Amino acid sequence: MASALINVPPKARRGEIIEIKTLISHVMETGFRRTQLGVVIPRNIIRRFVCTYNGTEVFRADLHPAISANPFIVFSTVATESGTLSFQWTGDNGFSVTESADITVE
């Protein structure tokens, strides 16, 4: 089963820009490769990544086959208030993983 790694600073000052790193295990099969018998391996990718901060969307990415296996995404957000950052990856074959991280803003 897929597993995700998230790096969010546990504490931040109000208004500080924090960097968030995410990594999720996924093959990101392009749909362009073939087996040795010449059969096309069907596409299996993560198509969308969304990050919400206390329910408000702060970052979103639309992924395509040219993103490497185990998608690694780094982005930033402003630490506005204490709460939860939630991360969701969705993709082909009903793939859906949700993770969350808490942050304390002083």
| Site residues (vs other proteins, CB under 8 A) | 17-18, 30, 32-36, 41, 53, 56-69, 71-78, 80
CB of 28 to other proteins, least distance (A): 8
Sorted by sequence, the CB contacts under 8 Å of residue 35 that are 6+ apart come out as 41
CB of 27 to other proteins, least distance (A): 10
Beta pairing class for 83-91 and 46-53: antiparallel
CB of 19 to other proteins, least distance (A): 8
Largest CA distance in the chain: 59
CA distances from 35 to 30, 32, 104 (A): 13, 10, 49
